[in-house]
Amino acid sequence: MQYSGFDPIALQLGPVAIRWYGLMYLIGFAAAWFLMRRRASQPGAIVPVETVDDLLFYTAIGVIIGGRLGYMLFYNFGQVVDDPLSLLRIWQGGMSFHGGFLGVAAAAWLFARRLGCTWWQLNDFIAPMACLGLAAGRIGNFINGELWGRPGSVPWAMQVDCTNQRFFDLCFEQLSLPRGTLWTPPLHPSPLYEALLEGFLLFAVIWIFSSRPRPVKSVTGVFLLGYGLSRFAVEMVRLPDSHIDYLAFGWVTMGHVLTLPLIVGGILLLWLAYRRQPGA
């Protein structure tokens, strides 16, 4: 398949440009709002229905601020030093899950104090909704032409159009293709892999798991472990950022380094949650 890229602007209203990347975040927040209201309406829910809108506001701010800060500090710190205002240019892409995760964790801590529940109880409530947000964000990455994978021979691999200026870095920096090349070799569409694995599949697993009786911390543990394993696997076929490259052994990326603690944390949380459960 050949991929020439999407126009990143979905709709132009005079001087205002509505971008697909932003729309994907809006879709993710809308899906989270719908599902949180559904869960909150069930008997014994830790979050009352009337507080769902406020919880969504807290988490949205955490995602945007944390995600942007995380990307710029973990992956692009040099640009922050040279151009501090680049932190504000979210429409250019560049959001980190790990930063967004920390932002949502901070927002949940603040909201849990207001609600009168524990931080872990609120994290367990939020975790399933986060997966659909991840799926929407990864589709936004694909539309933006970001985070491509390495060359591969799978039937669904895609050749990217090197004549599109948006793919200049991919073609001539990351892949080091000769100038004048029209198409890349077939590449793994890694953003779509992540949308499927850490987005839709993980959502199905956590939604079913969290709908049944389970100890506190266990839902968060499944989320961290599931996301960590999915992301670690996709990093094996994903190209590293050109300004970072591989960190070790010709395959270890910054994504691997940042994701490994999530896998360990997920296993630890599941152990803590179930260690006193009879027959667990």
pLDDT tens-digit profile of 136-186?
A: 989 988 988 888 999 999 999 999 999 998 898 899 988 999 999 999 999
User: Would you say residue 30 lies in a domain?
Assistant: yes
Q: How confident is the model at residue 89 (pLDDT cuts 50, 70, 90)?
A: confident
**What SS3 string covers 169-230?**
HHHHHHCCCCCCCCECCCECCHHHHHHHHHHHHHHHHHHHHHCCCCCCCHHHHHHHHHHHHH
Give the whole-angstrom CA distance, residue 101 versus residue 123. 11
**9-23, 86-100, 263-277: range with lowest mean pLDDT:** 86-100
Give the whole-angstrom CA distance, residue 119 versus residue 244. 35
pLDDT mean over 52-72: 89
pLDDT at 31: 93
pLDDT at 65: 87
Task: Look up the pTM and report it.
Answer: 0.88
pLDDT at 108: 94
pLDDT at 249 over 70: yes
pLDDT at 22: 85
Separation in Å, CA 83 to CA 20, 86, 92, 129: 25, 6, 14, 34
Mean pLDDT of all residues in the chain? 89
CA contacts within 13 A on the Cβ side of 226: 25
What are 252's strand-pairing partners? 248
For the chain, what is the domain count? Answer: 1
User: Would you say residue 109 lies in a domain?
Assistant: yes
User: Would you say residue 158 lies in a domain?
Assistant: yes
pLDDT at 56: 94
User: Would you say residue 155 lies in a domain?
Assistant: yes
User: Would you say residue 280 lies in a domain?
Assistant: no
The predicted-structure confidence for 179-234, as pLDDT tens digits, reads as follows 999 999 999 999 999 999 999 999 999 999 999 889 999 999 999 999 999 999 99
Q: Name the strand (E) or helix (H) holding 10.
A: strand 9-13
pLDDT at 92: 63
Q: Which residue has the tokens 């380094």?
A: 257
The residue with greater pLDDT, 256 or 92, is 256
User: Would you say residue 76 lies in a domain?
Assistant: yes
User: Would you say residue 221 lies in a domain?
Assistant: yes
Q: How confident is the model at residue 76 (pLDDT cuts 50, 70, 90)?
A: confident
For the CA atoms of 152, 156, 160, 161, the dihedral, rounded to the nearest 10 degrees, stands at: 140
| Chain centre to alpha carbon of residue 157 | 22
Q: How confident is the model at residue 248 (pLDDT cuts 50, 70, 90)?
A: confident
Give the whole-angstrom CA distance, residue 135 versus residue 10. 19
Q: Domain range holding 219?
A: 2-274
Helix residue spans in the chain (DSSP H): 20-40, 52-74, 77-82, 97-115, 119-144, 168-169, 190-194, 202-210, 218-235, 254-274
pLDDT at 49 over 80: yes
Give the whole-angstrom CA distance, residue 58 versus residue 154. 41
pLDDT at 272 over 70: yes
Q: How confident is the model at residue 93 (pLDDT cuts 50, 70, 90)?
A: low
pLDDT at 280 over 60: no
User: Would you say residue 279 lies in a domain?
Assistant: no
Q: How confident is the model at residue 91 (pLDDT cuts 50, 70, 90)?
A: low
